[in-house]
């Protein structure tokens, strides 16, 4: 891969992306347009996250890539390989050892630190998109801070279902100003959006970058009488016994028996190594 520049993109492109990132950090939650490039993986596979990671990586970095919380999902493997080949950086599955973590659909369970950057892959950056399909309109709504439509939507959910029927990509308000789509993370992860690490969001196909700086106030939208609730399966991890982690439900046999396991594979592994055992984890010799 020596025919390509460090981390694939040329330096001019990286500078352009870094300018967008800095603008995003300066205006938390604001979607900064950027001239997204075609990448050698398809749109929808994380091209926005990959471009942000490429522009952020230095040769000294240690990269972790997760998809659905796991390091070994096929697309996480593919993106990690891409940076191993094009940037030659060290990679890790250990959340605490990583300096940059690229993620799709999850925030790691372990608390992130000020030395870390979390890069999200974003499919639809516009939280208002499914209420108003036109970009010309939604940009106007953001600039006027006109978010009534979103509150009406949440209210209608409650009046129809008795609850807000958004369970992932749950909208948040950043620093009291912009309503932001946190990417399709489960709403269980929303409280973690207030963190010590830098959070960068890249949407390649939609040509947008946005950011949440460390220690920024991030509030999930709700009502006084229907407060936001971070939910997960009412269960513990069957392998490590964790009560506080987001769980994958796995169908085990034709009879439909199920088990619940941590979606964050590194969290589960580290807990089991520390001796925690879940209801079905005792026989786990590995």
Partner 1 sequence: MYVAVKGGEKAIDNAHAWLAEERRGDTDVDELSIAQIREQLSLAVNRVMAEGSLYDPDLAALAIKQARGDLIEAIFLIRAYRTTLPRFGYSNPVDTGTMRCDRRISATFKDAPGGQVLGPTFDYTHRLLDFKLAADGDAPHAPVAAPRQEDTPHITEFLKGEDIIQDEVFSDDTPGDLTREPMAFPSNRPLRLQSLTRGDEGFVLGMAYSTQRGYARNHAFVGELRIGKVSVEMDIPELGFAIDIGEVELTECETVNQFQGSKTEPPQFTRGYGLVFGQSERKSIAMALVDRALRWEELGEDNLGAPAQDEEFVLSHADNIQATGFLEHIKLPHYVDFLSELELVRKLRREAEARMAPKEAAE
237 is catalytic: yes
In angstroms, give the least distance from the CB of 121 to partner 1: 10
Residues of this chain that interact with partner 1 (CB under 8 A) are 4, 8, 10, 33-40, 42-45, 47, 67-70, 72-78, 81, 104-106, 123, 134-136, 161-163, 165, 167-169, 184-188, 205, 207-208, 231-233, 238-239, 246-250, 252, 259, 261, 263, 265, 280, 283-284, 286
Which of 100, 131, 130, 122 shows the shortest CA–CA distance to 113? 100
H runs (alpha helix) in 60-181 = 74-86, 135-143, 148-161
In angstroms, give the least distance from the CB of 61 to partner 1: 21
262 is catalytic: yes
Active-site annotation holder among 24, 241, 268, 278: 268
268 is catalytic: yes
Which residue number, 65 or 212, has a Cβ lying nearer to partner 1?
65
Active-site annotation holder among 24, 49, 69, 240: 240
In angstroms, give the least distance from the CB of 34 to partner 1: 6
Which residue number, 168 or 226, has a Cβ lying nearer to partner 1?
168
Residue 50, C-beta contacts closer than 8 angstroms, at least 6 positions apart = 39, 41, 79, 82, 102, 121, 202, 204
In angstroms, give the least distance from the CB of 247 to partner 1: 7
Cβ–Cβ < 8 Å for 168, 87: no
Q: Distance between the two ends of the chain, CA-based, in angstroms?
A: 36
In angstroms, give the least distance from the CB of 114 to partner 1: 26
Which of 3, 10, 67, 77 shows the shortest CA–CA distance to 39? 10
Which residue number, 61 or 67, has a Cβ lying nearer to partner 1?
67
Active-site annotation holder among 69, 202, 241, 262: 262
The residue written with tokens 């050892």 in the block is 97
Residue 13, C-beta contacts closer than 8 angstroms, at least 6 positions apart = 37, 55
* Pair of tokens at residue 105: 């659909």
Measured CA to CA, the distance from residue 145 to residue 154 in angstroms comes to 17
Which residue number, 42 or 176, has a Cβ lying nearer to partner 1?
42
Return the active site residues. 29, 237, 240, 262, 268
């Amino acid at each position: 891969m020596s025919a390509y520049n460090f981390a694939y993109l040329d330096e001019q492109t990286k500078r352009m992306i870094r300018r967008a990132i800095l603008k995003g950090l300066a205006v938390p939650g604001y979607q900064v347009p950027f001239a997204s490039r075609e990448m050698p993986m398809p749109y929808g596979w994380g091209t926005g996250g990959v471009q942000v990671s490429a522009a952020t990586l230095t040769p000294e970095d240690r990269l972790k890539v997760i998809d659905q919380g796991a390091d070994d999902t096929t697309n996480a493997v593919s993106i990690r390989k891409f940076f191993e080949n094009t940037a030659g950086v060290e990679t890790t599955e250990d959340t605490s050892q990583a300096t940059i973590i690229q993620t799709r659909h999850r925030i790691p369970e372990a608390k992130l630190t000020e030395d870390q950057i979390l890069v999200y892959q974003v499919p639809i950056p516009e939280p208002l998109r499914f209420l108003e399909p036109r970009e010309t309109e939604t940009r106007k709504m953001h600039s006027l801070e006109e978010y009534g439509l979103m509150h009406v939507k949440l209210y209608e959910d409650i009046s129809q279902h008795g609850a807000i029927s958004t369970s992932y990509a749950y909208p948040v308000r950043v620093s009291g100003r912009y309503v932001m789509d946190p990417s399709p993370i489960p709403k269980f992860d929303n409280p973690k959006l207030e963190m010590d690490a830098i959070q960068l969001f890249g949407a390649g196909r939609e040509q947008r970058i946005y950011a949440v700086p460390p220690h920024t106030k991030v509030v999930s939208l709700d009502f006084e009488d229907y407060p936001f609730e971070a939910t997960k399966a009412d269960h513990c991890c069957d392998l490590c016994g964790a009560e506080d982690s987001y769980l994958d439900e796995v169908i085990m046999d034709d009879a439909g028996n199920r088990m619940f396991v941590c979606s964050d594979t590194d969290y589960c592994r580290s807990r089991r190594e520390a001796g925690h055992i879940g209801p079905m984890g005792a026989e786990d010799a590995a």
